[in-house]
Amino acid sequence: MASAHVDTLASKHARLESVIFDEMQRPQPDTIRIAQLKKEKLRLKELIAHETAH
């Protein structure tokens, strides 16, 4: 069960990375949105680290 949860978190993390990359490629990137997405990506990374540590 925990493995499936970690896989889901990792998938969301990868999706956010893609969204951030796409936003940064725009002629005028939304820096506030990028900052929010990066915070969420970091939160997911921390959750993954926490889940895999147990």
Which tens digit of pLDDT belongs to each residue from 8-51? 999 999 999 999 999 999 999 999 999 999 999 999 999 999 99
Largest CA distance in the chain: 43
Confidence band (pLDDT; 50, 70, 90) for 1?
low
Say what the pTM is.
0.86
Residue 51 makes CB contacts below 8 A (sequence gap 6+) with 2, 5, 6, 9
